[in-house]
Amino acid sequence: MSQKTLDARGKSCPMPIVALAKEARTLSKGQELVVLSDDEAFPNDVRAWCSKTGNHLLSVDKAEDHYRAQIRKEA
């Protein structure tokens, strides 16, 4: 499956999650999405969002000045 990237840098809580929810609607099951965010709440929030919505969080990494989360759409 192809992988999309959502650049949510420059957005603060709750907007990275709002943008992620919107983007996730366009994905089909099994498709992966990379989300970039420089919001300090993002690592915990993306974990919480995946847990709440039943999607799979593959990884969260810290890049130089932002976080990078990889998600697989399950629900």
Sites of contact with other proteins (CB under 8 A) = 10-15, 17-18, 20-22, 38, 40, 43-44, 47-49, 52-54, 60, 62, 65, 67, 75
Residue 17 Cβ, how far from other proteins at the closest point, in Å?
5
CB of 10 to other proteins, least distance (A): 5
Closest by CA to 66, choosing from 23, 5, 10, 3, is 10
Clarify whether 50 is annotated catalytic.
Answer: no
Q: Which residues touch 36 (CB under 8 Å, ≥6 apart)?
A: 5, 6, 7, 8, 9, 63, 66, 67, 68
Q: Which of 1, 7, 13, 51 is catalytic?
A: 13
